[in-house]
Structure 1
Amino acid sequence: MTKEWALFLSTFATLLAIINPFEALPIFLMLLEGKDLSEHRRVAARATLYATLLLFFFLIFGSLIMQLFGVPLSMVRIVGGIILVKIGFELFSPSPNGGSIIPDASSKTANFAFVPLALPIMCGPGAIATVLGMQSEIKEAPEHIGRFAATSLAILCAMFVTYLCLAYAGKLVDKLGPMGIDATTRIVGFFVSAMGVGLVFNGVLQGLHEHGLIAPP
């Protein structure tokens, strides 16, 4: 397996696990209650487009943002890993009522596609941290063009799967049921936490190396 293929798989799996379209299904259906299938697909397409653009913004301009704030790449990995671990624990444990990010469903002018669907449900802190962490690996690799292409393709594939889940949200909820969605969310939370621990570990090693405390791997 090439490094680019491995990066594609890890980025795709991580993003899909963090976005977790199954968790967004009840919110999506509640916001679009009474709407037909064509409206579901239209809103799903707009939401995934907004989220994709946000992720590519951080993928392309993430290093510039880090330079402006003077944040080293190792710290990005550590903080991103901590965020992933926190999100994973929240997914694994029973969810609170969590209604604070849901706008008033009676509002006809609310842009549900952008808030809360694209931001923060799809493109939240975990997804942004993942993209920034992957960008740090792209920047350090000599084959950065191939790695950038692999990461970009992973983002597009993850968002396409998310679109399909939202576009057919009604059928998925009927098939899985509340218990199926809850079980899937808990399993996903476990693996998100594991991915976060890996990012923290690699970030700590990179930080120690940057300060000359350990030899390079």
Structure 2
Amino acid sequence: MVLALKDVWDAFIMLFIVLDSIGNIPIFYSLTSGMKASERNKVFLKSVLVASALLVFFTLFGYPFFAYYNVSVADFKIAGGIILFIIGIEGIFGKIEAEMLRSEDLAIVPMATPLLAGPGSIYMVMYLNNTFGLVPTLLSILLNTIAGYIILANSSILLGKAGKNTVLVVSRIFSLFLAVLAVSFIRSGIEEALRSMGA
């Protein structure tokens, strides 16, 4: 039981870092700045639900699809680690400027994807499923759905209390953690690939 709870907690934290709901607050709030609070919260809810549905889909069907093409776990770790590293570096240096993005339905594009359910988080749920199992991964998605909506729905309060600069600093810290996590994935994937080749 203790081990199962630890798996859920570890899966939740790892996915939380990749989703970066806190770091997305300035971006999401900027994209919905012309909306009333009730309308904004509906958009936030829709974006979180759509992103979560995408993550559940890839949790259930991601590996079987790619396994058909003989893609190994080591391949995923290396490729996913590179993707996460790029996302982390972009976050650290502030390269992602979502204010420039526009869509007919902001809740889906760019908010649900790629800002929440992007390549990094899609890889992450498949990695979590392979590492911790299906139930902890699905629970981590559920908990992150709830946490993400609570954070975004209270974004105006958080921005008012902490200030935009503080939120951006927290986002940079999460991006650094993500980059470090990505390096560990790449190292682990290379080690597995070498072992599989008998090196």
- Answer whether TM exceeds 0.5 for this pair: yes
Is residue 62–residue 135 contact of structure 1 (8 Å, CA) maintained in 2? no
Q: Which of 99, 105, 114 matches 1:120?
A: 114
Cα distance in 2, alignment partners of residues 112 and 94 from structure 1 = 21
Superposition deviation, residue 86 in structure 1:
1.6
Is residue 23–residue 167 contact of structure 2 (8 Å, CA) maintained in 1? yes
Superposition deviation, residue 136 in structure 1:
2.8
Is residue 79–residue 200 contact of structure 1 (8 Å, CA) maintained in 2? yes
Superposition deviation, residue 170 in structure 1:
1.1
Cα distance in 2, alignment partners of residues 53 and 160 from structure 1 = 13
Superposed CA offset, 1:26-57 (max 9, x none)? 23223322322221221111111100100011
State whether structure 2 residue 128 is matched by structure 1 residue 134.
yes
Residue matched to 1:144: none
Superposed CA offset, 1:86-131 (max 9, x none)? 222222224354544x216xxxxx2111111101110011101111
- Name stretches of at least 5 consecutive residues in structure 2 with no aligned partner: none
Cα distance in 2, alignment partners of residues 119 and 96 from structure 1 = 14
Superposed CA offset, 1:144-195 (max 9, x none)? xxx3111111111112111111111111111121220121011111111111
Q: TM-score, normalised by structure 1?
A: 0.83
Moved over 6 A (4+): none
For residues 150 and 21 of structure 1, do their structure 2 counterparts lie closer, same or farther at Cα, with a shift above 3 Å needed?
same
Aligned residues: 199
Cα distance in 1, alignment partners of residues 94 and 77 from structure 2 = 27
Superposed CA offset, 1:3-36 (max 9, x none)? 4333322221122112112232223223322322
For residues 178 and 36 of structure 1, do their structure 2 counterparts lie closer, same or farther at Cα, with a shift above 3 Å needed?
same
For residues 32 and 132 of structure 1, do their structure 2 counterparts lie closer, same or farther at Cα, with a shift above 3 Å needed?
same
Q: Secondary structure at the match of 1:69?
A: coil
Q: Which of 160, 164, 171 matches 1:174?
A: 160
Cα distance in 1, alignment partners of residues 47 and 109 from structure 2 = 9
Q: TM-score, normalised by structure 2?
A: 0.90
Q: Secondary structure at the match of 1:22?
A: coil
When Rg is computed on C-alpha atoms for both structures, the one with the higher figure is 1
